[in-house]
Amino acid sequence: MQQKLETRTFLLFLFIVSVGFLLILKPFFGTIFWACAITVIFYPMQTRLLRHLNGRTNTSALLTLSACILVVVLPVTFLISSVVAEGANFYNKLEAGEINPAQYIEQVRTAFPAVQQTLERFGVDIARIKEGALSVTMSSGKWLAQNALSIGQDTFKLLLNICLMLYLTFFLLRDGNYLLELLIRALPMGDARERMLFAKFGEVTRATIKGNLVIAVIQGTLGGLIFWVLGIPGALLWGVVMAVLSLIPAVGPAIVWVPVSLYLFATGDNVKGVVLVAFGAGVIGLVDNILRPILVGRDTKLPDYIVLLSTLGGLGLFGINGFVIGPLVAALFIAFWGIFIREVHVLAPDSDLDRESSEQQTREDSAV
């Protein structure tokens, strides 16, 4: 009795201390998450370097981290600073009246009266759409301008977060195997199950990040390139917006290029409109339809509709981190249920019927 009380008391305090530690780490969730994600992606490189460097973990981790900085951190930092600067310039043009979203909507309404009639049939007011578009555009531009200023003012904080992420990544790369074995020993689910689940975690994380980022880079580059070729202002900004929107399967960059193509048709630039529609549907859209099932669906072993729903749900719950967390949770959900079905031997209704039929036949044979 005394031993059971001591065990329960210990487990209670273990739970309290663990929750307290997680609350302490909560402000650094994004930093820790991306440190773990980068570690998972670059760990195969760390393993190869370990073999060539005769097990020198510090050196191999440092070289892997340097490659990560050159390939990921520096390009992303440069791209973000360029986009924020262009966003601030876009906001200045809005304030100066050089860009007028309400005028663009009015031009589309005049050129396509059937669109107005259809909207009015469903009770949609064009005037409210114009006001809403102006409000959203102004607030978005203002947000970009404010963040451009805050990034300039809070450079130290930004650098601190990046340095903390890289610092954690170094130790995760160096001590990855030890930490993994420690978790396997600590978790009371059975070593075989835990190894399978951790393998699934790494597999899904790598596939989701690498697949989605490759698709985002390709679609954003293609979108920005066609905007630049057609002379549409803010090609870099819209290219990055399309890259971010490409994280939403099936729709993605079409949210940007479809309205722009409608505007081109409305203003009489039919050739540019046809080129943009053809390129958007035939090239940008084809990239998503071909590469996403190959890079994401195949490696995560998730159906396309599960990838779509989990990505949208993840983005809604966790923001930008959700494009990884959503499919990861879905894959772990399927893995856990797979273990349950396999080990607990849950039978389907048809199996129950077959078993009852077999038992009935056995009884009849025995009676005979």
pLDDT mean across residues, the chain: 76
**Which amino acid does the sequence have at 182?**
L
| CA neighbor of 204 nearest in space, from 341, 117, 296 | 296
Q: Provide, rounded to the nearest whole percent, the portion of the chain with pLDDT above 70.
A: 71
Tokens at 264, concatenated: 């081109």
Q: Who wins on pLDDT, 279 or 82?
A: 279
In angstroms, rounded to a whole number, what is the distance separating the alpha carbons of residues 9 and 206?
40
What is the per-residue pLDDT for 16? 93
Q: Is the pLDDT of residue 20 over 90?
A: yes
In angstroms, rounded to a whole number, what is the distance separating the alpha carbons of residues 170 and 242?
32
Is the full-model pTM beyond 0.85? no
For residues 318 and 326, the answer to whether their CB atoms sit within 8 Å is yes
| CA neighbor of 194 nearest in space, from 182, 184, 206 | 184
- E strand or H helix at 56, and its extent? none
Average pLDDT for residues 36-42, to the nearest whole number? 87
Q: Who wins on pLDDT, 259 or 293?
A: 259
pLDDT digits 0-9 by tens, 295-336: 776 666 777 778 778 888 888 888 777 878 888 888 888 888
**Which amino acid does the sequence have at 21?**
F
Q: Is the pLDDT of residue 114 over 90?
A: no
Proportion of the chain in helix, strand, coil states, percent, rounded to 5:
90, 0, 10
What is the per-residue pLDDT for 17? 92
